[in-house]
Amino acid sequence: MSFKSLVWLAILLPSSTLGLEIYSQVSSAIIEIKPVKTQVKKGDVIVRLDDRQAKLELQYLKTLQSIKQQDFDDKKLELQQTKELYERLVSSHRDLEIAQLAFDATKRELDAHHLKIKIAQIELEKYTITSPISGIIKNLPNQRNVVNINTPKILMIIE
């Protein structure tokens, strides 16, 4: 099952109804939550969690990306210049190998950093929980509690 905001799901089978428990995958304060007896459709936003730290993490990674991109561009230029010098018999084969190794390492580092950004973007999505089904919200937690994945609490039950 796939939906925009990942949630842990568990099916309850009480004697009279079928309910779906909604949990969070991240620890954070609840900013907004749909009230009890609200009719929701599949895909509706039902919970918003405080995502400020996740947004800052993503911003930090994007700032680092520009630094890593600049380093990559520098190594690429260095490799091109070393190739030209090698072709003119001014530079040794070893110099060319060293420039190629440095370029390859910088490219791998940049590619890995791109993956870190994608992971941070996925993590940020977890702060907005959408309803996986259509139904009516039946139960909510004490809103003074924050969501903590170390001691998962039911955010709501949808029937």
- Cα dihedral sign, 72-74-77-78: negative
Q: Where are the domains of the chain?
A: 8-49+129-158, 53-124
Are 20 and 8 in contact by the 8 Å Cβ rule? The answer is: no
Spatial CA neighbour of 159 closest among 129, 130, 134 = 134
| pTM above threshold 0.75 | no
Q: Would you state the CATH architecture of domain 8-49+129-158?
A: Beta Barrel (2.40)
Closest CA to 139 of 27, 23, 29, 51: 23
Tell me what pLDDT residue 104 has.
97
pLDDT values of the chain reduced to their tens digit, one per residue, 159 residues = 333 333 433 333 343 456 788 888 888 888 998 888 999 999 999 999 999 999 999 999 999 999 999 999 999 999 999 999 999 999 899 999 999 999 999 999 999 999 999 999 999 999 999 999 999 988 766 555 555 656 666 667 777
